[in-house]
């Protein structure tokens, strides 16, 4: 048995398509509650930020650009799991909706936002054959231009800011490593990941901190020693991508170190913790996505550990789901029962699209491992 499949295979033996079925039900619920046409523009779809939604959210007046990138990623996961011409059309409509809502552009001031969108659009191109070349050219050009030597290197969180952080450099490194139009892209991905490892690694735990603020002269002013789950996910993802053409094994070692650090210092009884709603609602789901990738690509010991965390978190998320229109409703903490919001004045985080996407990501990550286990010789 190879690399990170044993735990998933155990679940698959109990029910050959257990996680695929759960992922399908999760998809149905999220799309029924959150997916809407943009401003009555034909051929568009976007995710509404809340359910039940306020009038402003229903009209998509607030713009959660990076949430839409993760919605697109989830749609692509689902299309790879169970190809459908209807869903493929929805994916195309969603991409068009993003472009229209972003006023005909693919970029904004935030490097993390555009890196996330670039990753999803690259998958749409590479895995589904959708033409996203112009979008990727615009996004990668801006990311390449974001590198400076301030604070030792890395790209900024946003233009004209003083913060350099893992949430921007992590997904950007993954994107450039995958996109890699030339050797310079691959080298820049290495440099970004080296920068995170050198300046933001907690040597005690093996986890990476959030970021650092720098003065205009390039000197570090303050290091933000806060640990977020998604920071571990994107650093791990970058290491796994770079390990693909690294005969030295250095990147594999860094990836394995991160998996062990997450298991030892973040997961509780194998379950990834949540971080409330809003942007934090996406954090654990992002980590699960890259743990699943690690489970498939890393050597068996680290791969199996990554797989166990994905499956255990997905099990708890499913066990504690709530009931809502058209499908399950997920909470922000996998081990806490989700409660269905009573209306748009309810402040429960279960209303947030980010939280629901994270729950859906857990299901798709588990389904990916299930599928990989079923394909193993």
**Is pLDDT at 12 greater than 50 in this prediction?**
no
Q: What is the pLDDT of residue 59?
A: 93
Q: What is the CA radius of gyration of the chain?
A: 20
Q: Is residue 362 packed enough to be buried (19+ CB in 10 Å), middle (13-18) or exposed (0-12)? A: buried
The average pLDDT across 260-272 equals 98
The average pLDDT across 70-74 equals 98
Q: What is the pLDDT of residue 10?
A: 42
Per-residue model confidence as pLDDT tens digits over 318-327: 999 999 988 9
- At 376, the pLDDT band (50, 70, 90 cuts) reads low
Q: What is the pLDDT of residue 16?
A: 59
* Residue 163 bridge partners (DSSP): 213
Q: What is the pLDDT of residue 180?
A: 84
Q: What is the pLDDT of residue 42?
A: 96
Q: What is the pLDDT of residue 33?
A: 97
**Is pLDDT at 9 greater than 50 in this prediction?**
no
Task: State the pTM of this model.
Answer: 0.94
**Is pLDDT at 82 greater than 70 in this prediction?**
yes
**Is pLDDT at 137 greater than 60 in this prediction?**
yes
CB 256 within 8 Å of CB 298: yes
- In the chain the domains, ranked by start, together with CATH numbers, are 6-375 (1.50.10.20)
Pairwise CA distance, residues 28 & 32, whole Å: 6
Pairwise CA distance, residues 257 & 259, whole Å: 6
Per-residue model confidence as pLDDT tens digits over 149-182: 999 999 999 999 999 999 999 999 999 999 987 8
């Amino acid at each position: 048995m190879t690399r990170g499949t044993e735990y998933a295979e155990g679940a698959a033996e109990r029910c050959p398509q257990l996680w695929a079925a759960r992922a399908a039900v999760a998809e149905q619920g999220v799309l029924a509650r959150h997916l809407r046409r943009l401003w009555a523009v034909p051929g568009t779809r976007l995710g509404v930020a809340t359910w039940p939604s306020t009038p402003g959210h229903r009209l998509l007046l607030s713009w959660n650009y990076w949430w839409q990138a993760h919605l697109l990623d989830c749609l692509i996961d689902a299309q790879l799991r169970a190809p459908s011409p209807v869903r493929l059309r929805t994916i195309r409509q969603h991409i068009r909706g993003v472009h229209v809502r972003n006023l005909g552009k693919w970029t904004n001031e935030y490097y993390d936002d555009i890196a996330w969108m670039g990753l999803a659009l690259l998958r749409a191109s590479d895995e589904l054959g959708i033409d996203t070349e112009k979008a990727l050219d615009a996004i990668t050009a801006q990311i390449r231009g974001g590198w400076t030597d301030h604070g030792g290197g890395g790209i900024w969180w946003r233009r004209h800011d003083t913060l350099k952080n893992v949430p921007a450099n992590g997904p950007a490194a993954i994107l450039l490593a995958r996109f890699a139009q030339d050797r310079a892209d691959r080298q820049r991905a290495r440099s970004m990941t080296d920068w995170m490892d050198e300046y933001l690694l907690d040597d005690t735990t093996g986890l990476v901190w959030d970021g650092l603020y720098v003065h205009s002269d390039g000197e570090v002013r303050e290091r933000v020693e806060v640990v977020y789950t998604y920071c571990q996910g994107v650093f791990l993802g970058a290491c796994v991508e770079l390990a693909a053409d690294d005969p030295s094994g250095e990147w594999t070692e860094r990836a394995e170190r991160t998996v062990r650090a997450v298991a030892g210092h973040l997961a509780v009884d194998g379950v990834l913790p949540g971080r409330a709603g809003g942007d934090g609602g996406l954090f654990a789901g992002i980590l699960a996505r890259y743990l699943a990738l690690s489970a498939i690509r890393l050597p068996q010991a680290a791969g199996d550990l990554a797989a166990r965390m994905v499956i255990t978190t997905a099990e708890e998320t499913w066990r504690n789901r709530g009931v809502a229109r058209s499908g399950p409703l997920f909470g922000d903490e996998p081990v806490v029962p989700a409660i269905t919001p009573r209306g748009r004045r309810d402040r429960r985080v279960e209303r947030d699209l980010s939280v629901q996407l994270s729950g859906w990501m857990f299901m798709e990550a588990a389904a990916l491992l299930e599928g990989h286990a079923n394909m193993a010789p």
